[in-house]
Chains A and B, each alone.
Chain A
Amino acid sequence: MVSDNRISKVQELIYEIGVGEVMQTDLVTVDPRTPMSQLRAILREKRISGTPVVDGDKLVGIISIEDFIRWLADREEDCPIAEKMSKDVCTIYADEPLTQAVNVFQRFGYGRLAVVDRQDKRLLGIITKGDIVRGLLNKLEIHHVAEEEVYRHRVKHFFEDILADKVVLLFQYNVVGQNFTRAGEGASRLKATLQRLGLHPQIVRRVSIATYEAEMNLIIYTDGGSIRVRVEPNEIFVVVKDLGPGIPDIEKVMQPGYSTAPEWVRELGFGAGMGLCNIKKCATKMELKSTVGKGTQLNIRISVDNEAKSEDS
């Protein structure tokens, strides 16, 4: 999904990135003294349709399959490639921005451009449209990762700036009941937040799974509710609350496999009566309180010290 800010990011990047950063550098070149008769074997072996002609490390021309065919058709005698190559080669400097390469491609319709050094005109590489696209995508990916790092960095600083003996963070996520397609958005946002806080991945996983199951329960069985998460240095405390209908027999719902879920929920992969067991498995401590007609409260405590209680349990 490409959002608007990604598009403007691409516009920035084609000015920022230099041709030298995305070009191909493992080049096949030929010497101008190579006989034309050998050209076909070279092109076929390397599966290319044309290649730069380089004398020493200086670009002197470009020879393509078309030049070869013309030479064949004219039934001329064998001669050095230098005589048949096109000497008028369109080049681009490695330090020019991608936008320059895009312009040249658009204007002349070339498939590839030779990239040379601005000072000594040495051939450095070749650039195609595909290289530009690949280069942009890579940069976007790196930017994306970098953005996440910036967030983490900011969160760390935020903590250092707080002067207190103990810091407690509180997040709340509101869950709309019966809305199956949006189910899990709360748990998903919580997960991203905990990752930014730099918590241990196993702790993040356990909190996410427990919260997601609890969120599913709110969606399947209630008209919605709230998930409150209190993050302390050594414990994460999740409180899930709803306003009804309430659970008549708590002991029964804690049994693995017990479920009152309608068939449509089962066909979607939930409601098999394992959610609460699952939450219990992820939690260091779990409490379930409910009053029929009033509502249900589920408390999930996950202690942060005890990293050993992982998914092996």
Chain B
Amino acid sequence: MKIAEIVQELNLAVWAAKASLDRGVTGGYASDLLSDVLANSKEGNLWITLQIHQNIVGVASMKGLAGIILVNGREPERETVEKAETENIPLMVSEMPAFELVGRLYNLGVGGT
């Protein structure tokens, strides 16, 4: 499944790297602990988190993640948006809490293991 389809299905606001939304997603990873994401996420995963500081872009780029969705309507810091733009990491925001967003992604066929 492509990020663009997910953006449309789940009504996500895109904050950065609009040009890279045709990227495919291999699965989902939900975590607010950077060390956990560094250790356990897989390439092409879509990352669901509450963290908004710019380190999330560094982690996503290092692990080759497909993109980041911030939950609970959290707005990213300006530096985070800029960094996501330069690193070409799609950055989206959902109004939903992580639990519900993940539930819907799961129903769309994005796997978690």
Contacts and interface: CB of A to CB of B under 8 A. Distances in A.
Most chain B beta-carbon neighbours within 10 Å: one of A256, A266, A269: A266
Contacts of B51: 272
Contacts of A269: 32
B22 interface: no
Given A272-B50, A272-B51, A257 B33 contact: no
B68 to A, nearest CB: 15
B50 A267 contact: no
A interface secondary structure, majority: loop
A269 B35 CA distance: 12
B9 interface: no
B74 A267 contact: no
A237 B13 CA distance: 40
B33 A267 contact: yes
Interface string B69-92: 000001101000000000000000
Nearest to B50: A272
Interface size classification for chain B: 10 to 19
A257 B52 contact: yes
A267 B52 contact: no
B77 A267 contact: no
A257 B35 contact: no
Contacts of B33: 267
A12 to B, nearest CB: 46
A257 B72 CA distance: 12
A256 B76 CA distance: 11
Contact of A257 (B32, B34, B74): B74
A257 B75 CA distance: 9
A267 B33 CA distance: 6
Nearest to A263: B34
A220 B50 CA distance: 20
Nearest to A257: B52
B53 to A, nearest CB: 8
Interface string B27-55: 00000111100000000000000111100
Given A257-B53, A267-B35, 9 more contacts: A256-B74, A257-B52, A257-B77, A266-B34, A267-B34, A269-B32, A272-B32, A272-B50, A272-B51
Pairs A-B, 3 closest by C-beta atoms: A257-B52, A267-B33, A267-B35
Interface of A: 256-257, 266-267, 269, 272
Interface of B: 32-35, 50-53, 74-75, 77
13 contacts: A257-B52, A257-B53, A257-B74, A257-B75, A257-B77, A266-B34, A267-B33, A267-B34, A267-B35, A269-B32, A272-B32, A272-B50, A272-B51
